[in-house]
Structures are given as structure tokens and as C-alpha cells.
């Protein structure tokens, strides 16, 4: 069963109806458990394909229980390493000897997100922070929650437990309307907006590699840097809209993954807005512990900023490496680590040179913010070149375009994005002023209904006309 698809939406609707029949937490947990089992079985009907996935779940649960009952740093470290190595083995990372891999194709969809949940539970068990008793039933419903199994978001156990049984969200007509609106918007992003961008990107690569003069080389660079990040955003944020809306119908709250990443004015700011459930998780469980450990080892105040820079690099290097098993993703990780750590160094330098008030004033200037935003988005697009390319194709693209054209294209991309961002900010400010008018405020509910109805019609029309399978979700492979 693919997410998002009309099949998934029908399945979720049936689960939502069943789960809301009773107010009893035990009933809701039982229905969610059955739905999780049914969803996993829909991914593969062959027990052999599912066995490695469930083996990982069993080993994870055993690791949690061992850490709960046997206190000690050695046991805790051993369990962390066991879970990590098992994950790397099942995901077939390049450093694992090829001869050790299982000799058949098995289910790994969603394994990376389950890994984060299991690792989170092991860490919280060690710190005695698990709320309540974690039995196999609760463990399965949390780690395999069908609403966010495929591509997240990564939800912490205490947040899941809060709405799953302790304080479920109310369900009424406004809540249903809001959830359905979110689902429609998500389907529109994935089905109508993101799919053509993927096709356009393939066409531009073909033009570049074929030395076709249809487009100017500099324009090709600009489009290659802008199209794929935009595609990923629309594809992944659309998926997130769908699953957040579905979870709301189940009376669950999922964390948000995006907060206007186009508005980011630096790489640190960008990662506080992009795939937020991942960046928040890795800050809490990698960056903060690493920085604290380094500060204890090197307590001098003068080195503290550099320890933070190093910790940022390690943290976001791991974010990049998590995305894939090949050497291309190592470079992607290095670029992400450099982006965040250099951004941190730059901030520290500017604050020392200008002072905090003056730097804050500079950072608030519209032109400065626009250029910073253009540079940030361009750098992210550059880093993503290793996300969707092989070394051979990257080499062919660089050879076809040439260094001068690439540098010129990067500069044009920064300026184009900065100009577009400046225009969007000013249009947004004008619209916010209009929202204060009584006539506009009264018309908003009707306008929202009309817009969502139009989007829903567009999704259905595209699905019927193309008669294609459900769109591919970029992060489904992780």
C-alpha cells in the first residue's frame, strides 16, 4: 500500500471510523494495533520478506529491556552498538562486507524511521525517562504506527503516548474539516505539483548530457540547483501533510516536519525548518550529548565556540550519511556538516566584530536576508547534487557544463532566489494587511473551501487522466 494513494486514504478512513466508535483507550489501542499489522502485511505477503524487519524490532525490544534491568555504561553501550550494527547490516551500508548480507531482497521501507524510534527508547530506558511500562503491545503500536511508518515524522514516545492513550485529541467537525483540508493539500503537492518537477529535472539533465542547445548552459545550472530541492520539498512536505491529517482523524498528533524552509536565512536556520523531526532528534541525542562531553573534556571558555562548531559538523554529517549507504552520501554529509558549522563560525565572527545588536540589525535587513536566503537554498541545492547523482553522472554534468558556467550559474541562482524571496515577503506582508479587513476576514472560510475544493478536483482529475500508480515518495527509501 503506497502513501499517499487513494487506497491508503480509504484504509485510513476505515481505521478512523473504527477507532472513534469508542472513547475507551484500550479500544483505540486495539484498533491501531490491528491497523498497523494490516498495513505492514500489505507491504509484502511473503513472511520471508518481513522476517528481517521483525527481527530488528525484536532485537530492539530486547535491548530496551536489558538496559532497563541491567544498569551500567558497558551494557548500555553494547546495546546501542548492537542496534546500530544490526541496522547498518540490514540497510547494507558499504562498510559492511558484502558476503554478510542476506541473499535475497527483503522489506526495508521505513526501517530508518523505526531505527530512530528504537534508539530513542534505548536511550530513554537508560536514563529512566520512559513514561509508564513499555510492554510488547505498546512497543509495537509506537514503532510501527502505520500513519508514519513509511517516511516519518519521527515522533518521541512520550509525545505519542500523550495523545494515543493519556489525552487523545478531540474529534469534531472543525477538526475533521482541518484534517481533510491538510490531506487534500498534501495530495495536491505530491500529485499535481511535485511530479512535473521530477520530469523537468530529467529533461534538463538530458539536455546537458546531450549537449543540446535548447536551453542556455547557465540556465541549466540554475534549474538543476532549484528544481530538485523544490521537488523534494513539495514531495516530502506533501506526504507529511497527508499523514499529519490522517493521524488527526485517528486522534493522534504527529510532529511537523517543515516550517517555511524557503524563509531560512542561513544553514542553521534552514535545518531548524527542514525535516524538523529528524534535525530535532539528532540535536537532542547527538549534538547536545557530544557538546556536553567535549566541554567537560576541554573546559576552557575560549575553545567553547569551536567545540560547538565541531559538534554541529559531526551532527549534520551524520544526518547526511543517514540518507544513504554509498560514498555519494558521505559527501552529502560532509557538505551538510560544513554548511552548518561554517554558518556557526560566521555567526560567532560577526557577533564579535559587530556586536550582537548590530549583527541582529544587519540580519533583519530585507536585502541581507534575501541574499542570505538565496545563498542558503543554493548551497542546499548544490549539496543535493550528491543526493540524486552517481559519481559518473556528476562527472559528466561537470564536464559538459564547465567550471566557469557552473560558477556563473551558482551566482545567478543566488540572485534569482533572493529576488523571488524578496517579492514573496512583500506580497505576504500585503496579504497580512488585507487579512485585518473585516470583509476579507468574513470571506476567508468560503475562500478556503473554494480553494480546497479546487485542489481536490485537480488531484482527482490528474489521477484519472494519467491513470498512473501513486506517486513515489523521495524519503520512502530511507
Q: What is the mean pLDDT of residues 265-292?
A: 92
pLDDT tens digits, residue range 170-192?
888 888 888 999 999 999 998 88
pTM over 0.85: yes
Instruction: Report percent pLDDT > 90 for the chain.
Output: 48
- pLDDT at position 83 is 95
- pLDDT at position 440 is 47
The residue count of the chain comes to 478
- pLDDT at position 449 is 73
Mean pLDDT score across all residues of the chain = 87
- pLDDT at position 343 is 93
Least confident of 39-43, 278-282, 443-447: 443-447
CA quadruple 181, 182, 185, 186: dihedral positive or negative?
A: negative
CB 359 within 8 A of CB 367: no
- pLDDT at position 123 is 94
Q: What is the mean pLDDT of residues 361-375?
A: 90
Residues 6+ apart with CB under 8 A from 244: 153, 182, 186, 254, 256
Of the two residues 312 and 446, the one the predictor is more confident about is: 312
- pLDDT at position 161 is 86
Using pLDDT thresholds of 50, 70 and 90, give the confidence band for residue 408. Answer: very high
From CA 65, how far away is CA 46, in angstroms rounded?
Answer: 29
CB 417 within 8 A of CB 373: yes
- pLDDT at position 311 is 92
CA quadruple 93, 97, 100, 104: dihedral positive or negative?
A: positive
Is the pLDDT at 444 greater than 80? The verdict is no
Least confident of 38-52, 227-241, 330-344, 421-435: 421-435
From CA 394, how far away is CA 387, in angstroms rounded?
Answer: 11
Is the pLDDT at 475 greater than 80? The verdict is no
From CA 373, how far away is CA 74, in angstroms rounded?
Answer: 45
Is the pLDDT at 125 greater than 90? The verdict is yes
Buried/exposed 365-374: b ≥16 CB within 10 Å, e otherwise:
eeeebbbbbb
Amino acid at each position: 500500500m503506497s502513501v499517499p494513494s487513494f487506497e491508503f486514504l480509504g484504509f485510513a478512513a476505515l481505521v478512523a471510523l473504527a477507532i472513534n466508535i469508542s472513547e475507551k483507550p484500550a479500544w483505540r489501542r486495539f484498533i491501531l494495533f490491528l491497523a498497523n499489522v494490516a498495513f505492514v502485511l500489505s507491504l509484502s505477503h511473503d513472511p520471508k520478506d518481513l522476517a528481517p524487519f521483525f527481527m530488528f524490532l525484536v532485537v530492539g525490544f530486547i535491548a530496551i529491556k536489558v538496559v532497563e534491568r541491567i544498569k551500567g555504561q558497558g551494557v548500555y553501550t553494547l546495546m546501542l552498538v548492537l542496534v546500530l550494527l544490526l541496522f547498518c547490516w540490514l540497510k547494507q551500508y558499504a562498510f559492511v562486507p558484502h558476503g554478510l548480507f542476506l541473499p535475497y531482497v527483503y522489506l526495508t521501507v521505513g526501517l530508518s524511521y523505526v531505527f530512530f524510534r528504537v534508539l530513542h527508547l534505548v536511550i530513554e530506558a537508560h536514563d529512566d525517562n520512559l513514561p509508564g511500562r513499555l510492554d510488547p503491545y505498546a512497543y509495537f503500536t509506537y514503532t510501527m504506527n502505520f500513519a508514519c511508518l513509511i517516511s516519518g515524522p519521527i515522533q518521541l514516545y512520550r509525545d505519542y503516548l500523550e495523545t494515543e492513550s493519556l489525552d487523545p485529541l478531540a474529534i469534531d467537525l472543525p477538526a475533521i474539516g482541518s484534517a481533510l483540508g491538510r490531506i487534500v493539500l498534501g495530495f495536491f503537492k505530491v500529485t499535481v505539483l511535485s511530479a512535473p518537477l521530477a520530469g523537468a529535472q530529467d529533461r534538463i539533465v538530458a539536455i546537458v548530457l546531450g549537449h543540446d542547445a535548447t536551453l542556455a548552459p547557465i540556465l541549466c545550472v540554475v534549474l538543476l540547483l532549484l528544481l530538485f530541492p523544490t521537488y523534494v520539498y513539495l514531495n516530502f512536505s506533501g506526504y507529511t501533510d497527508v499523514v499529519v491529517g490522517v493521524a488527526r482523524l485517528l486522534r493522534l498528533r504527529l510532529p511537523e516536519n517543515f516550517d517555511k524552509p524557503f524563509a531560512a536565512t542561513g544553514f542553521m536556520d534552514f535545518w531548524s525548518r527542514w525535516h524538523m523531526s529528524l534535525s530535532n532528534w539528532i540535536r537532542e541525542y547527538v549534538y547536545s550529548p557530544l557538546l556536553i562531553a567535549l566541554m567537560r573534556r576541554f573546559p576552557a571558555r575560549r575553545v567553547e565556540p569551536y567545540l560547538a562548531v565541531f559538534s554541529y559538523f559531526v551532527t549534520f554529517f551524520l544526518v547526511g550519511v543517514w540518507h544513504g549507504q554509498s560514498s555519494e552520501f558521505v559527501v552529502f554529509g560532509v557538505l551538510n556538516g560544513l554548511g552548518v558549522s561554517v554558518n556557526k563560525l560566521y555567526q560567532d565572527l560577526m557577533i564579535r566584530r559587530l556586536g550582537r545588536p548590530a549583527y541582529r540589525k544587519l540580519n533583519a535587513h530585507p536585502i541581507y536576508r534575501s541574499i542570505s536566503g538565496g545563498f542558503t537554498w543554493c548551497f542546499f541545492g548544490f549539496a543535493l547534487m550528491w543526493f540524486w547523482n552517481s559519481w559518473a553522472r556528476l562527472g559528466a554534468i561537470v564536464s559538459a557544463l564547465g567550471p566557469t558556467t557552473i560558477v556563473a550559474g551558482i551566482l545567478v541562482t543566488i540572485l534569482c532566489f533572493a529576488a523571488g524571496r524578496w517579492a514573496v515577503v512583500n506580497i505576504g506582508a500585503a496579504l497580512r494587511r488585507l487579512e485585518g479587513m473585516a470583509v476579507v476576514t468574513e470571506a476567508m472560510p468560503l475562500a478556503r473551501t473554494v480553494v480546497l475544493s479546487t485542489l481536490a478536483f485537480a488531484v482527482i482529475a490528474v489521477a484519472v487522466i494519467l491513470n498512473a500508480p501513486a506517486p513515489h515518495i523521495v524519503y520512502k527509501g530511507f
